[in-house]
Each structure stands twice: as structure tokens, then as C-alpha cells.
Structure 1
Amino acid sequence: MSLPPLTTWSEIHRRLPLIFPEGSPNREHSIWEIAAKTIFVMQYVGAVEGRERWIRPDQVTRMTDTQAAQTTDTVREQWAKDSMKPSKTDIPGRWYAVNTRESIRDDTIRYALIANGAVLDKPGVAVTSPAGRYALQSDFADLLDPALSEAVLKAKIDAWQKKYLNAGALARIAIVRRGAAAGGDHQLVTFSNGETRRMSTGPSSDISKAVIEVFAPTFLDKPGVITLSESGNKVVARDDELAKAIGLTIPAEKSLPDIVLVDLGPIHPLLVFVEVVHTDGPVNEARKTALLKLADKAGFAPVNVAFVTAFLDRGSATFRKTVGTLAWGSYAWFASEPERLIQFSEKVKRIEGSSQ
């Protein structure tokens, strides 16, 4: 059986973000250079579903640019055999150091490519076995064909995603795509009381709309919107009567968060400050302290105040950039996973098991 057509690792690297778009689980490790080179090595030796050929992670570390440029079947077959043999000989120009094989196995193959259906793990192979155990899923391998035109590639990618990505992954991708592709010069935001307001389009506005229309009714019993602002501190909505009813004085200053919600369900209303983060500006410790002072003036004890930082997606670079600064005692919410909420607990007395 002849080996499959070979695509350069750089072209594979270009295609991976198309196959795993924003919103895909474990996207970072599914599209980075290591993933592209790992996939290239599988293709190089013919490790594709149905061919009964499999690779080990250390074979990825042994590949070199010089070897990758030698593409005849004879050379590829010989390297496939040689790269499986134990060797202490130094390999000039090797792609990765020997001690990176565990990272390739775990971060890239197991938790990204296998989790997303792109790679198969051969059943029955012991963890300690020196035998190869990883191969490309056959339909995924078809997406790497160098002869595909851009139009055909796009069609094949769409079909592959619908067939192999799970419903949750597809939902996240759809939400992120919808936020990135919003058009027009404005969009309507519908409040819980049925009123609507216009907001300019853009990623931050998309997240704000999701907070009002999805987060609030999901996590609050009787939600109300006190203020809603856009980037540039433009006030879209301001309910002074509602604020007055709960004893909150809204200052005419720029210190207010993007959204101020209230839950009228509890005996003592819950005040919810929400910062919308597309690039920067989460609820950090300094921001939390300032907002607690504002709430205190209105007679809200800390127990009746909540802080939320809203993001578009958990896999976004923005969340990774800011997660280390989020205040303890606050929450993180993601428009792409609307029924989930991350709590940064200040004090945990005991660990509880997972519940469904």
C-alpha cells in the first residue's frame, strides 16, 4: 500500500485553525506548531486509520527539516522503521528534545487531538509499551490532502466538524462565530421586562447582550438592569427608579462597571457588578474593593454583592491573559458556555466530589 500524499507541516499548521476555529475545546494545543508537526509525522509514516500503522511521540522529536524534505516512499518507509529503534546517537537538527515526548503525548495528542476526534489511540496497547499507538482519523487525514482547492477544503472541513465534533463544541463554535461576524451598525438588546435598547455592534457588545439576555435570567431569580454601558462609557440604559427603589445611588462617573444588575428575588436584593472583557478590564482585587465601597454607600453588605467578569469564550487568549488577575470571591462567565459559571472561592472548607 502506497503512503498517503504528504503535506508540509507549515501547510498543516495553516489549516488547523480552519479545522478547529475559535471556540473549539483545547484549541490552543490543537492548532499550535507542535500539533502540526505531530500530524506531519503521522502522515509521513502513513499512520492513518485503516493502515495499521501507528507512531510513538518520541518519533516526532526525532524528525528534522532535512528528513521532512525527503518525500519518496522508500525514504519515508525506511525512516519509519529506523525511528522506532532505540538509539542514543545525537540527531542534528532534531525538531524537539527527547524530554518533550511526554508533553507531545499529553498536551497535544491526548488532551487536544484525540479529544477533538482528529487522532485515534490504538486499543489494547499498555501505557509502558514501546509500540506505536497513535494514528490520524481517516476523515481528518483527508482534510490534509495537498491537492484540495480552498473551496473543496472548506466544504470538507464543514462536513467533518458536523460529523465529528460533539454538540457542545459545535455550539461554542457557533456562538463565537456569531459574535465575530456580527454586522450592521447596531443590535437590539432585550431586557427581562421586554424593553429593548440599541447597542453598537462589536465583540464587547455581543458579550453584553449575552449577559442581559442569557446570564441574567439563567442565574438570577428576578433580574433587573440598573445600568448598561458600551465601551467609551456611553450609557445605553440607566434605570434610576429601580436604583432608587433598592437604595443605590448611581454616581455620574466613569467608575461604574459595564453592567449593573440586581436580583429582586431574595429578601435583600443582590447587587451584581459585571465587567465585560474582550481585551482587558476584568474584576480584579482593586476593582472589587472600589465597587464594594460603592455598594456599601447604598447599604449593601458584601454578602449581598456579586462580581462577574464576562468573556466570550473560555479558550480565548483574553481569558488566559486575565485569569490570573481575577479577584477572589468573584465569578467568570462565558457566552459560549452560558450554563456554566466559574467561582473563585475565597475560602473552601472541604472538597466535594463531582455531581451531575
Structure 2
Amino acid sequence: MLPPYVSRALISERLPLIFPEGTPNRSYCTRELAASTVFAMLYIGAVEGADVWLGPVHVYRMTDLQAEDGCEASRSDYRVNLRKKSYQVPGNRWYADNTREPIRDETLREGFLVVGAVLERADVPTTSGAPRYALRADLAALFDPDLMGEDLSAAIFSWQEKHLSRSARARVSLMRAGTTGKDGVLVHFPNGDTRRLASGPSSDISKAVVEVFAVKFLEKPGVIWLSESGNKVAHPDLKLASGIGLDIEAQKNLPDLILVDMGPVEPLIVFVEVVATDGAITPRRQEALYAITDRGGFSRSQVAFVTAYADREGAGFKKTVTGLAWGSYAWFMSEPENLVLLQNGVTRLTSLNAFAAVEPN
């Protein structure tokens, strides 16, 4: 028997719930092409245990007219006869033939297979065009139209616990933990001070930079400057800044955060830009910030630049990554143990425990 008929619209609604922010390659699992692929699997019955398999052709040759015909005879006819040259699918096709590659390579192999949502036949050669994919039975059950409300939420949570890896679940949890309430974001500084920032994604990232990044990558961290939208003097530590010879009072266009590491013999100044949607450390921005430390008499080896993001799957990173300055770093709130260095031809790799800066060419 075929699984219950379900619309592509319902699948589109549930995919983002099943694969939340922080899921590896989330966009491949939640976009329209993913909903179309899941729809086609359910439509023809390509579900674990049924010995029915889907190929990309079942997705890109689907039409609105065919998709609206939910009777079992039509669904079976589409599956059995689609690959015959004489078979005509009524209506306008969803996608062109060249969509087979993103369906196969992105949605299926880099998306659903990675998170254990889909099975692939091992006995079909990679060069064969034979159908080879099927939806996991426990995932297929999440699209039952009769499953709603708390029962749906519980079923989704159970599936995530089983199929998302430990690191993926941790990443999802970190992303969820960043959601702020109406009372704003309380930031705890290394010196024991606290400051409440307005709610929002930028404040979530700023909090993580101060409480997680600084502790992880700096030996003896301090916060010289923290700004937020609409309040550019949220936390200026003028005493700490003047103590190391950095004049920030007269400066304009300071970054979102300025950290200092007092552990090394020569203090390390770390300029951090927080990106929720825009505003990364670009080459132009890097030079403008160097001008501040140059005037303070700091060697450029004492200066580092970091762009902080919520997640590398997020729109902010994808929008700004191509403009990041060489010799700078990128850090992600959802993967706090890791740090990306945009290496610029310097052969000596830095020790991240000591967090030494890499001066651009």
C-alpha cells in the first residue's frame, strides 16, 4: 500500500521543523527542491521497507496536475510508467532535466543522506540511472496529515534524537539557546561586570563572543569596547583602553567589539565584527582599524581581526564570506571550538591557544 497522500505545501511547512537551524547543510533539506523530492518519494511510495525506489526523474518530471491526482492508481501508474518514452505526464513540469544534478548531489547526497533521512541502494552501480533512493520509514511518518500538535512535536524530537549526530544536536541546541527573550541578553564580562543588551541575533552573537570565544582563545581576556545597535557606547572600558595606550574616546566607526589579551608580554588587540546579516571584516575595514592601532604605536603583529557569525549555514555568512579580509578569522557561535583562518601566504601557522595575529601581506 502507498503511504497517505500528502501535499507538497504540508511537507514544506514541516521540513524546517524537522531540520532546525544548526542542522548540517540545512538549506538542502528545507528548500522547495527538498519538499518536491520528499513529495515525490511519498507519492510513488519510495519508503523504507517497500522495495520502491526514487530517481531524480520522478522529481523533475512531476507537474501540478499530476501532483494533485492523489488516487492510488494514478500514483502507481506514474511510478511504473514514467521512464517509458510513450508515457505523457499531464501539465507543466516542475523542473527542467538539468535539475537532476542538484536533486542528486545536493538535496539527496549532501542533504538527506548526511542526516540519515534517506536510504540509498548499495547494489546499484554509481553509473546506472536506475532509481536508488527511499525515504526512511520513521521520517515518512512525520508527514502523516493526521499527526499534529504536541504529538507531531514529540515525534519530531524523537526523530532528531535518533538521527542527528551528537555534534549536530549540540549545534542545534546552541542555536536554540541563542534565542533571546523580552528582557534582553545579559552579558557577563571577564572582569565580573554584566551588561544587558537589547534582544536580537546580533546581541546573541556578541554574548557568545564575550563569554565563549574570549575565554576559549585568549589567555587573559578583557573587553575594551562593546557596542549594540542604537547604543554605540554600551560598554566602553576607558581605563583598560588607556592602560594599554589605545585611545578609543575620539574614534569613530569602531567595531562591534574590541577585546584585549593581557596574557602575552605585548597585549593582543582583537577587533571583532558581529554579523547577523552584514558588516564583516573586509580589507577596507581592516585598514581603517589598523589606523587606530598604528596611531597608538602598536605593532601589527599585536592586532587580530575576527568576524563572528551565528552559524556557517546562515545567510549572514553566505552573504559576506567572499569579502572577508585575508589574514582575518571567522568564528561561529554554533561551533565554538573551531576557528577559521583566512591564510594569506604566510607559511608559519599560528598557535590558536596563544592566538597570535597574522599580519596581511
TM-score interval, normalised by the smaller of the two chains: over 0.9
Number of aligned residue pairs: 349
Alpha-carbon distance change, 86 to 264 in structure 1, aligned in 2, over 3 angstroms: farther
* Cα-to-partner distance string for 1:209-244 (whole Å, 9 max, x where unaligned): 100110001111121111112222432322223222
The match for 1:266 is 264
1:108-123 alignment, distance < 5 Å = 108-123=107-122
Residue identity matched to 2:155: K
**Correspondent of 2:243 among 245, 252, 263:** 245
CA distance in structure 1 between the partners assigned to 2:252 and 2:174 by the alignment: 30
Equivalents in 2 of 1:152, 1:184: separation in Å? 28
Shift of 1:350: 11
Counterpart position of 1:339: 337
Using the TM superposition, give the Cα deviation of residue 163 of structure 1 relative to its aligned residue in structure 2, in angstroms: 1.7
Aligned equivalent of 2:128: 129
Which of 266, 286, 298 is 2:296 aligned to? 298
| 1:135 shift after superposition | 0.4
Match of 2:357 in 1: none
CA distance 1:232–1:127, change in 2 (3 Å) = same
Hey, what does 2:64 align to over in structure 1? 65
Question: What is the DSSP-based 3-state SS (H/G/I as helix, E as strand, rest coil) of the residue aligned with 1:175?
Answer: helix
What is the RMSD computed on CA atoms of the aligned residues?
A: 2.1
Q: Does the 8 Å CA contact 1:283/1:308 hold for their aligned counterparts?
A: yes
CA distance in 1, matches of 2:299, 2:251: 22
Distance 1:68 1:163 in 2: 31
**Aligned-pair CA distance for 1:80:** 0.7
Q: Secondary structure at the match of 1:143?
A: helix
Cα distance in structure 1, aligned partners of 2:24 and 2:86: 36
Cα separation, 1, equivalents of 2:91 and 2:149: 36
Structure 2 residue identity aligned to 1:72? C
Confirm or deny: 8 A CA contact 2:65 2:90 kept in the other structure. Answer: no
Unaligned runs of 5+ in 1: 352-356
Residues 306 and 91 (structure 1), Cα distance of their counterparts in 2 relative to 1, 3 Å cut: farther
Counterpart mapping for 1:20-39 below 5 A: 20-39=19-38
Q: CA deviation at 1:279?
A: 2.3
Percent identical across equivalent pairs? 53
Report if the CA contact (8 A) 1:62-1:91 is conserved: no
Give, in angstroms, the shift of residue 85 of structure 1. Answer: 3.7
Unaligned runs of 5+ in 2: 350-361
Cα distance in structure 1, aligned partners of 2:196 and 2:39: 49
Partner of residue 278, structure 1 = 276
1:202 aligns with 2:200: yes
Distance 2:266 2:287 in 1: 21
Please tell me whether the aligned partners of residues 9 and 36 of structure 1 are also in contact (alpha carbons under 8 angstroms).
Answer: yes
Judged with a 3 Å threshold, the aligned counterparts in structure 2 of structure 1 residues 101 and 88 are, in CA distance, closer, same or farther, namely farther
Which residue of structure 2 aligns with residue 211 of structure 1?
A: 209
Cα distance in 1 between the residues matched to 2:110 and 2:96:
21
Q: 1:184 to 1:72 in 2, by over 3 A?
A: closer
> Where does residue 44 of structure 1 map in the other structure?
43
1:223–1:264: 8 Å Cα contact kept in structure 2? yes
Distance 2:84 2:168 in 1: 39
- Secondary structure of the equivalent of 1:50? coil
| Maintained 8 Å contact 1:282/1:326 | yes
SS of the residue aligned with 1:76?
A: helix
Q: For 1:193 and 1:350, how far apart are their aligned partners in 2?
A: 33
Partner of 2:188: 190
Deviations 1:283-324 (A, max 9, x none): 112111100000111112222211111111111112111222
Name the aligned partner's letter for residue 121 of structure 2. K
Instruction: Give 3-state SS (helix, strand or coil) of 2:272's partner.
Output: strand
Contact 2:40 2:59 in 1 (8 A): yes
Matched, 1:312 2:320: no
Check 1:147–1:90 CA distance in 2 against 1; reply closer, same or farther (3 A cut): closer
